[in-house]
A and B are shown apart, each in its own frame.
Chain A
Amino acid sequence: MSDLDLGPDGGINEPLEPRLGHDSDLTPARGKRRRREWVQLLSDALHYRRTQIGLALFLFIVALAAVGPYFAPYSPSEFVTMPFAKPSSIAAFGGDNLGRDVLTRVLYGGRSVLILSIIATAIGMVLGVSLGLFAGYARAAVDDVVMRLLDVLLAFPQIVFVLLLVSVLGPRLWLIVLTVGLSHAPRIARVARGSTLEVKERDFVKAAESLGVSRSKIAFTEILPNITSPLLVEFGLRLTYSIGLIAALSFLGFGLQPPSADWGLMINENRIGLIIQPYSIFVPVALIAILTIGVNLATDGMARAMIGIERDTGAA
């Protein structure tokens, strides 16, 4: 569901105070303020229960993926029991389609999804933010051309785009990561551009222009620090979609190839055994679900925090 750049949940929440007309001469809030906006955002977001839960879920999966292999009873390619054997003392979650230990394969299977997703999202962010910042701050004509070109990329649903590029070259991992990242870029660029357009109209940008500061310096030192909140939220969203995409690609057979241990691949391999031995599917499914829900919860918390910050800094 990655093609809908809806951003955060409209963020409609309790206003902190009713608008009391001009704020022009209220005793200012001399409270504590963090220097960098993203640090402020993260610390505010952590006040929400959902962020805490989301983060906890995410960290749980990260821990599982990172140290899981050290706790695995067998090796992921070892045959330990009958195909689709029920859970027993040999195999805690039973056997998979070839008789390998489901628990072991699950413990090994998280790394690929996590690492690939994070890298793909990072690639997308770097490309997307640069493009969006550039287009947003450039002249209208340049902006137009860039956005039209991006529209071409946006005409492809993300999975279709990846499949297209992978169809002839084959499912190499680096290609998958690159194309997933590329598919994110135009969507992120749209968000970055939108925020840039709004910020560049503010007078402090004009003030810097009047001082003669170069455009690229303004883009990075005046504009970028003021759009980090929406970008951070966007990162969270994109990460959720990356995980979904990469797991789906493995599920479709175009990601990690057998005999690798990968959650998406496992789900596909064990589909036929659904009725006999549901654990072989259910465990990887549950883990993917926990991961994506966790990331999304935390992202939603950040989105709410962002609304609060925007209000304080008087995004006029």
Chain B
Amino acid sequence: MPPLAKIILRRLALGLLTLLLVSVLVFAATQALPGDTASAILGRSATPERVKAVRERLGLDRPATSQYFTWLGGIVRGDVGDSLVAEQPISQLLGGRVVNSAALVLVAALISIPLSILIGSLSGLLRDRWFDSATSLGSLALAALPEFVIGILLIMLLATQVVHVFPAVSRVNPNEPIWSQMNMLVLPALTLVLAVAPYIVRILRASMIEVLESEYVQMARLKGMPERIVLQRHALPNAVIPAIQVIALNLAWLAGGVVVVEYLFNYPGIGSGLIDAVANRDVPVIQAIVLLIASLYVGFNLIADILTILVSPRLRTGLQ
């Protein structure tokens, strides 16, 4: 088996192991807590009948390990269970939301990644000139602000008296596909873009600067290579390589970033779904969404690792 395939398989196996442990953690945090879980879930609306019903639904009378394996078995088979609150299979409940969130993340990624690479590289190239100083300060500010603050500032700018362009609150019609309601997507996507962009810009800038000061770029210049070729052939490719990991990590972050942003814009995705579920103590839904988000996280990290190996000749060929 080629060494590359071995490495990928090993990472995959590790990823799966991580996910397994993640599932244990998710389960333990919601269903295996000390004390009476059923009462805790129902809170103030706990009546003896309701508590009994919840206990039966979740199988809380059985030992924790058996509960866990039942739950896990279901997930592996594709059956995520039923919502405690909505009396509906979770897959039905969340299906549309998953699509919506995916659309949101996709749009955000498609905009932020190329834009940030461009801005970041330019900043590195034009180091210390006005463009670089402006983007540096801008990145610093944006990186500091919590996402909901960015969102609200955007709303204030674009959706109110100042410029009434986009709707402040998404009135997305759940019965129609998201593609036909794109303008509902704009503000939340823009918020995500602004939240993520500073990090990619920063890493690209740093990477570009490091590459431009590297020995091999100096050497290329000392060989008499024209600047254009130095940048294209020697500098840029080497600058982007370390950024790939960061970009993938950013995509991973988006999986969690949607939570606050969707809530703010009332966008019907898994983020706002999670908030609702937590508010309602809908344990099976909470478990399902958190597991989904964590899986995406682990998945993107895996992709980041593999891409880095593929793209770096030293790692690719130096496998022994």
Interface of chain A, helix or strand or loop or mixed? helix
Query: Which residues of B are interface residues toward A (Cβ below 8 A)?
Result: 14, 17-19, 21-22, 25-26, 29-30, 33, 37, 40-41, 43, 127, 136, 140-141, 143-149, 152-153, 155-156, 160-161, 168, 195-196, 198-199, 202-203, 205-207, 209-210, 246, 249-250, 252-253, 255-257, 259-260, 263-264, 274-275, 277-279, 281, 283, 286, 290, 293-294, 297-298
Q: How far is the CA of A124 from the CA of B160 in the complex (A)?
A: 39
Whether A296 and B25, one on each chain, are in contact in the complex, defined by CB atoms closer than 8 angstroms, is: no
Whether B141 and A166, one on each chain, are in contact in the complex, defined by CB atoms closer than 8 angstroms, is: no
Whether A168 and B41, one on each chain, are in contact in the complex, defined by CB atoms closer than 8 angstroms, is: yes
Whether B144 and A159, one on each chain, are in contact in the complex, defined by CB atoms closer than 8 angstroms, is: no
- The interface residues of chain A lying within 8 Å CB-to-CB of B207 are 10
Known: A6-B246, A152-B25, A278-B160. A167 touches B278 (CB 8 A): yes
Q: How far is the CA of A243 from the CA of B149 in the complex (A)?
A: 12
Whether A1 and B149, one on each chain, are in contact in the complex, defined by CB atoms closer than 8 angstroms, is: no
Q: Is A274 an interface residue (CB 8 A)?
A: yes
Chain B's nearest CB lies how many Å from the CB of A284?
A: 10
Q: Is A295 an interface residue (CB 8 A)?
A: yes
- For the complex with contacts A168-B29, A293-B144, A296-B144, 8 further pairs of A-B residues with Cβ separation under 8 Å are A6-B202, A152-B18, A156-B256, A160-B290, A167-B278, A168-B281, A248-B260, A251-B148
Chain A window 243-260, contacts with chain B (Cβ cutoff 8 Å), 1 for yes, 0 for no? 111011001111000000
Whether B14 and A160, one on each chain, are in contact in the complex, defined by CB atoms closer than 8 angstroms, is: no
Q: Is A165 an interface residue (CB 8 A)?
A: yes
Chain B residue, CB-CB nearest to A5:
B249
Q: How far is the CA of A285 from the CA of B253 in the complex (A)?
A: 23
- The interface residues of chain A lying within 8 Å CB-to-CB of B255 are 157
Residue of B37, B145, B286 with most chain A CB atoms under a 10 A cut-off: B145
Q: Is A198 an interface residue (CB 8 A)?
A: no
- The interface residues of chain A lying within 8 Å CB-to-CB of B203 are 6, 10
- The interface residues of chain A lying within 8 Å CB-to-CB of B259 are 157, 159-160, 163
Chain A residue, CB-CB nearest to B299:
A155
Chain A residue, CB-CB nearest to B41:
A168
Chain B's nearest CB lies how many Å from the CB of A210?
A: 32
Q: Is A288 an interface residue (CB 8 A)?
A: yes
The 6 closest A-B pairs by CB, nearest first: A157-B256, A10-B206, A244-B146, A296-B144, A292-B144, A12-B209
Q: How far is the CA of A163 from the CA of B144 in the complex (A)?
A: 22
Chain A's nearest CB lies how many Å from the CB of B131?
A: 16
- The interface residues of chain A lying within 8 Å CB-to-CB of B290 are 156, 160, 163-164
Q: Is A282 an interface residue (CB 8 A)?
A: yes
Whether A10 and B210, one on each chain, are in contact in the complex, defined by CB atoms closer than 8 angstroms, is: yes
Whether A288 and B22, one on each chain, are in contact in the complex, defined by CB atoms closer than 8 angstroms, is: no
Chain A window 273-287, contacts with chain B (Cβ cutoff 8 Å), 1 for yes, 0 for no? 011001001100100
Chain A residue, CB-CB nearest to B19:
A155
Chain A window 142-170, contacts with chain B (Cβ cutoff 8 Å), 1 for yes, 0 for no? 00000011011101111110011111111
A-B contact pairs, 16 of them (CB 8 A): A1-B196, A152-B25, A155-B18, A155-B19, A156-B297, A157-B253, A158-B256, A160-B256, A160-B294, A168-B41, A168-B283, A170-B40, A247-B146, A248-B147, A289-B153, A292-B144
Chain B residue, CB-CB nearest to A1:
B195
Whether A300 and B140, one on each chain, are in contact in the complex, defined by CB atoms closer than 8 angstroms, is: yes
Q: Is A207 an interface residue (CB 8 A)?
A: no
Whether B199 and A297, one on each chain, are in contact in the complex, defined by CB atoms closer than 8 angstroms, is: no
Option from B155, B209, B253, B264 in Cβ contact (under 8 Å) with A1: B253
Chain A residue, CB-CB nearest to B128:
A14
Known: A10-B207, A157-B253, A167-B286. A1 touches B33 (CB 8 A): no
- The interface residues of chain B lying within 8 Å CB-to-CB of A167 are 29-30, 277-278, 281, 283, 286
Q: Is A196 an interface residue (CB 8 A)?
A: no
Q: Is A26 an interface residue (CB 8 A)?
A: no
Chain A's nearest CB lies how many Å from the CB of B84?
A: 12
Chain B's nearest CB lies how many Å from the CB of A147?
A: 11
Chain B's nearest CB lies how many Å from the CB of A236?
A: 10
Whether A164 and B253, one on each chain, are in contact in the complex, defined by CB atoms closer than 8 angstroms, is: no
Q: How far is the CA of A10 from the CA of B140 in the complex (A)?
A: 13
Known: A157-B297, A251-B260. A4 touches B246 (CB 8 A): yes
Within 8 A of B (CB), among A1-60: 1, 3-4, 6, 9-12, 50
* Total contacting residues, chain A, CB less than 8 A: 53
Q: Is A267 an interface residue (CB 8 A)?
A: yes
Q: How far is the CA of A80 from the CA of B74 in the complex (A)?
A: 56
Q: How far is the CA of A152 from the CA of B17 in the complex (A)?
A: 9
Known: A248-B148, A252-B263. A12 touches B206 (CB 8 A): yes
- The interface residues of chain A lying within 8 Å CB-to-CB of B41 are 168
Q: How far is the CA of A1 from the CA of B257 in the complex (A)?
A: 7
Chain A's nearest CB lies how many Å from the CB of B199?
A: 5
Known: A278-B156, A293-B140. A3 touches B148 (CB 8 A): no
Whether B143 and A12, one on each chain, are in contact in the complex, defined by CB atoms closer than 8 angstroms, is: no
Whether A165 and B206, one on each chain, are in contact in the complex, defined by CB atoms closer than 8 angstroms, is: no
Chain B's nearest CB lies how many Å from the CB of A303?
A: 11
- The interface residues of chain B lying within 8 Å CB-to-CB of A282 are 156
Q: How far is the CA of A49 from the CA of B259 in the complex (A)?
A: 36
- The interface residues of chain A lying within 8 Å CB-to-CB of B149 are 244, 247, 285, 288-289, 292
Residue of A1, A11, A160 with most chain B CB atoms under a 10 A cut-off: A1
Q: Is A240 an interface residue (CB 8 A)?
A: yes
- The interface residues of chain B lying within 8 Å CB-to-CB of A285 are 149, 152-153
Chain A's nearest CB lies how many Å from the CB of B273?
A: 12
- The interface residues of chain A lying within 8 Å CB-to-CB of B286 are 163-164, 167
Q: How far is the CA of A44 from the CA of B231 in the complex (A)?
A: 35
Q: How far is the CA of A166 from the CA of B30 in the complex (A)?
A: 9
Chain B's nearest CB lies how many Å from the CB of A10?
A: 2
